[in-house]
Structure 1
Amino acid sequence: MPVMDYLERNAQLYGDEVALVELNPAEPDNRRLSWKEYSLIEANSFAPYRREITWSVFDEKANRCANMLLQRGIGKGDKVAIIMYNSLEWLPIYFGILKTGAIAVPFNFRYDAGEILYCAELAEVQAIIFGPEFIGRIETNAERLSKGRLLIYVGDNCPSFAESYHILAADCPSTKPDAPLITDDDLGAIYFSSGTTGFPKAILHKHQSLTQAAQMEQKHHKTGREDVFLCIPPLYHTGAKFHWMGSLISGSRAVLLKGAKPDVILSAVSQEHCTIVWLLVPWAQDILDALDSGELKLADYELAQWRLMHIGAQPVPPSLIRRWKEYFPHHDYDTNYGLSESTGPGCVHLGLENIRKVGAIGVPGYRWQCRILDEQGQEVPQGEIGELCVKGPGVMTCYYHDEEATAAVLHDGWLLTGDMARQDEEGFYYLVDRKKDVIVSGGENIYPVQIEDFLHKYHKIKDVAVIGLPDRRLGEISTAIIELKEGMSCTEAEIEEFCLDLPRYKRPKKIIFEPVPRNATGKIEKPVLRKRYGIENLVAQETQR
């Protein structure tokens, strides 16, 4: 059952109920409202900072988009890119593309002009739908992008090189489009890898993957008709979209929040009576720090209805969840593991009933299988470290136009994740590190995540990344880039003393106090750090010769 059918079902059954709310807690001059100002505004008078649409309007908007694309010659098998910030328009456009039988191709909104062109050509898109924030980036290569492609602009004051989405869609019927039958075996979407190992790869999925992810999310988190999901991460990312699809399956309301400051998040939960919130590690950390400092007080918010906080997209320090439970003892918690090649999070998850196992990424998700293999492709004994492999109905079809890369990670339906893991005696999987992030120092394998988890326990540290830097004697040395909490000061000697509890070979050999860069999905940008400090380290070594 393709996910578009769930939208049409919801429009029929719950047509007058609110499906999506968009919150933008900033005034027209872009001054952000304080949480006190926000909390004093009634929900029904939040305009222009609050917009909402019902399920019937959602479906009608998707139909208009689909009919518009069909009129412009876009049909089954074609590819349509979206590059927009989160808004009420994003999901109806996504579903409109799917309703035509075309393949939806979300672009990372951080792409520069060159990356947009690269991904458009790699995925062979026939149209690009973009928002006002991307006019300059599209215009840079407008001549090349417009060759054989439609450029469709969503917003006011349409640039001369594009066509206006609102004008085109306004003249199109809001009824179900006359499009070919679409099944779970048809191609549905292309997502791009995060590009942490080079240029992004185009990841091709069937509709089966989208339906699997949606149904799995609803089952894992028991999303019901009365739940309200708060969505903060960008919708181009599989995590945000497919966590939201739990609301699609259950026919419940969701809130798209623009902004991730602690006061804005808690205000949105309070104002909109949110029950499920998906956070990235930095956002959860920021909330805890604001509560620790007294900047925020839980008594100022209405949070009793908030039942579940879950985290994904990156390793989660157990110390963070222990702190979280001190402030929110009634919360259920889940860790979600996945990758775009497995249609986002959930192929492995902790499970609401397993909070005692915090630190593990969990057990196989709904309809998934897992195993751990060595370099020869053989399963390792329980407890030993190897590469995590997953198999299920959400595995990608292939890397589009990249047979070599596909063959490297797909073996008999099993997806090699590139993540090193181990399984304990109860069957829970623990992420050790990315295969490519393992540091080999003096012949010893060092797993950065283990050191990062340890350093996160130090009360002055806000964030930390451990990378390997080149060393003439040892090959690589472990280096900790440490971001301190606001107002804190710290010395290398303090960190070295704290690390005495680590085995000697795991202790960072170099410490750098600098901000830790993370991408839009919360992952540490280790290639950026390796390039930044690796070059500097090589220069320093050459200078010492």
Structure 2
Amino acid sequence: MPITELLARNAELYGNDVALVEVNPEITEIRRVTWKEYELIEPDPMCHYRREITWKVFDEKANRFANLLLERGVKKGDKVGILLMNCLEWLPIYFGILKTGALAVPLNFRYTADEIKYCLDLAEVDILMFGPEFIGRVEEIAEEISRNRLLFYVGEGCPTFAEHYDSHVANCSSEAPDIKLTDEDNAAIYFSSGTTGFPKAILHNHESLVHSAKCEQMHHGQTRDDVFLCIPPLYHTGAKMHWFGSLQSGSKAVLLKGVKPKSIIETVSNEGCTIVWLLVPWAQDILDAIDRGDINMDDYDLSRWRLMHIGAQPVPPSLIARWKEHFPNHQYDTNYGLSESIGPGCVHLGVENIHKVGAIGKAGYGWEVKIVDENGKTVERGEVGELCVKGPGVMTCYYRDEKATAETLKDGWLFTGDMAQEDEDGFIYLVDRKKDVIISGGENLYPVQIEDFLRSHPAVKDVAVIGLPDKRLGEIAAAVISIKEGMTCTEEDINNFCQKLPRYKRPHKLIFADVPRNPTGKIEKPKLRQIYCGESLVAKQIKN
């Protein structure tokens, strides 16, 4: 069954029920205040910007956009890029694309102009949808990318180099287009990057998307009474596939802009949220705000909140113990996944297994797992090997990259690149990453990119970037820097130099020391981690 049929089903069965809510605490709505003979207009700090749509309207908006795309010549197999911050338009646009038989291609909102162009070219995107936050970046490359593709702008103040989405889609039919889709039809391309930092285009079909919806609903028991709070960006498989549980169950979801602790708690209270997915730093910030007294729990109605789950990075057991002190009635869960396995859930802890916090769990609903050695042979329980997963949610391939596909997909098994071990009860623990990607606050940092930048400093002889444990972010990027003989360089010099990098890519810690390399010239990062971490981040968490 194509995933578009779930939306059509919800529109038919629950048409008048709220499907999506957008909340933006940074914008306050306008109120009128009458004072004597004057009428003042001022923002209401207690009344946040809020929009909502029903399942029927959601489906109609998706149909209108699908028909607009068809009018513009979009056909089955074409690709439409989405470069938007979370908003009420995001998911109707996504499903409108799928209804035409085209592929949705979400783009990371952190991408630079050059990265946007690279991904558009790699995925052979025909149309790009973008919002106001990206005008500057798109304008930099507009002349090049508009030669062979359409640009649609979503929002107010449409730039001259794009067409306005709102003005066109309003005149299109709200009837579903007559496009036949199957489980095997390609549905979406997501981007991921390896240790080189160059994005790979990950191709998924409709079967993958539907399985992720079933998986999420089965793992968390979502019903129509649940309300899911979605905070992470929808371009990421993690956020999207967790929301798919709401699609599967026909329940309401809230898109919250911003990650301030008070905004999260207020939204849970105001919207009656029952399920909240957090990253480690957000959970940490909430607990810290409560302890400081910035959040008074008695001011909020959190009685419906039943489940807090965390993904995208290793979870310190001490954090969950502390969370349970403040929220003793909460269920807790964690999921492991990759964009190549349609996001979270191929390995799943389960709410009944909180005593195993620190583990990523067992095979998720409909999934198989194994841990293998360098020859692909399953290792004995307790031994460390590479984690492999198999199931309906495994990607079709890396789009236009046969070599990488062959290295990652073998006999239906997805080789994750993560090293893991299984305990005596069958629970899987991550031990270390085979690749050197650093996960900081749920975002992937690619050491090679940062290393290449730092090497351009005139005083830097060599550099290696590794991840160090961090209580709030899970990991931080640390740069081990070797200075050229006869030259001097300070932390202030390097920090000033790194201002040219996006903030999230700047090293949090600088270490001036020799960079060890093996006889083949490769940096010995395991040795560096042993020196500066003592042992791997996740191994520490297992022991805790």
Cα distance in 2 between the residues matched to 1:285 and 1:15: 38
Cα distance in 2 between the residues matched to 1:371 and 1:156: 50
Change (3 A) 1:292 1:197: farther
CA positional deviation for 1:178? 2.5
1:80-91 alignment to 2 at 5 Å?
80-91=80-91
String of CA shifts for 1:243-289, please: whole Å, max 9, x gaps.
Answer: 01111111110000001000000000000000000001110010011
Q: Does 1:340 align with 2:355?
A: no
Tell me the secondary structure at the aligned position of residue 25 of structure 1: strand
String of CA shifts for 1:97-130, please: whole Å, max 9, x gaps.
Answer: 0000000000001111000000000000000011
* TM-score of the aligned structures, taking structure 1 as reference length: 0.80
CA positional deviation for 1:533? 4.3
Cα distance in 2 between the residues matched to 1:38 and 1:415: 51
Cα distance in 2 between the residues matched to 1:112 and 1:158: 20
Q: Does 1:177 align with 2:188?
A: no
1:470-489 alignment to 2 at 5 Å?
none
Q: Where is the strand percentage greater, Structure 1 or Structure 2?
A: 2
Change (3 A) 1:260 1:438: closer
Cα distance in 1 between the residues matched to 2:206 and 2:283: 33
Task: Letter of the 1:16 partner, please give it.
Answer: N
Change (3 A) 1:283 1:194: farther
CA positional deviation for 1:465? 3.4
CA positional deviation for 1:4? 0.8
String of CA shifts for 1:331-364, please: whole Å, max 9, x gaps.
Answer: 0111110010000000001001111100000000
Question: 2:299 maps to which residue?
Answer: 300
Question: 1:329 maps to which residue?
Answer: 328
Task: Letter of the 2:285 partner, please give it.
Answer: D
1:345-360 alignment to 2 at 5 Å?
345-360=344-359
Instruction: Let me know the Cα RMSD of the aligned residues.
Output: 3.0
Task: Letter of the 1:297 partner, please give it.
Answer: N
Tell me the secondary structure at the aligned position of residue 285 of structure 1: helix
Question: 1:444 maps to which residue?
Answer: none
String of CA shifts for 1:301-325, please: whole Å, max 9, x gaps.
Answer: 1111100000001111111111101
CA positional deviation for 1:293? 1.6
String of CA shifts for 1:423-480, please: whole Å, max 9, x gaps.
Answer: 00110000112112399xxxxxxxx99x83xx74xxxx776537684899xxxxxxxx
Identity of aligned residues (%): 64
Cα distance in 1 between the residues matched to 2:197 and 2:473: 28
String of CA shifts for 1:492-513, please: whole Å, max 9, x gaps.
Answer: xxxxxxxxxxxxxxxxxxxx99
1:188-203 alignment to 2 at 5 Å?
188-194=187-193, 197-203=196-202
Cα distance in 2 between the residues matched to 1:384 and 1:212: 30
Change (3 A) 1:106 1:463: closer
Is 1:25–1:38's contact at 8 Å kept on the other side of the alignment?
no
Is 1:193–1:200's contact at 8 Å kept on the other side of the alignment?
yes
1:245-260 alignment to 2 at 5 Å?
245-260=244-259
Q: For structure 1, which runs of at least 5 residues remain unmatched after alignment?
A: 31-36, 440-447, 473-511
Change (3 A) 1:265 1:25: same
CA positional deviation for 1:237? 0.4
Is 1:437–1:467's contact at 8 Å kept on the other side of the alignment?
no
1:397-416 alignment to 2 at 5 Å?
397-416=396-415
1:264-413 alignment to 2 at 5 Å?
264-413=263-412
Question: 1:465 maps to which residue?
Answer: 476
Task: Letter of the 1:352 partner, please give it.
Answer: V
Question: 2:77 maps to which residue?
Answer: 77
Question: 1:242 maps to which residue?
Answer: 241
1:444-455 alignment to 2 at 5 Å?
452=469
Cα distance in 2 between the residues matched to 1:540 and 1:125: 42
Q: For structure 2, which runs of at least 5 residues remain unmatched after alignment?
A: 31-42, 439-465, 484-493, 518-544
Is 1:367–1:392's contact at 8 Å kept on the other side of the alignment?
yes
Count of aligned pairs between the two proteins: 466
Tell me the secondary structure at the aligned position of residue 176 of structure 1: coil
Tell me the secondary structure at the aligned position of residue 329 of structure 1: coil
Is 1:39–1:267's contact at 8 Å kept on the other side of the alignment?
no
Change (3 A) 1:162 1:39: closer
Moved more, 155-164 or 254-263: 155-164
String of CA shifts for 1:74-114, please: whole Å, max 9, x gaps.
Answer: 11000000000101100000000000000000000111100
Is 1:239–1:344's contact at 8 Å kept on the other side of the alignment?
yes
Cα distance in 2 between the residues matched to 1:468 and 1:51: 44
Q: Which portions of structure 1, spanning 4 or more consecutive aligned residues, are displaced by more than 6 angstroms?
A: none
Cα distance in 2 between the residues matched to 1:136 and 1:20: 29
Task: Letter of the 1:155 partner, please give it.
Answer: G
Is 1:38–1:267's contact at 8 Å kept on the other side of the alignment?
no
Change (3 A) 1:327 1:309: same
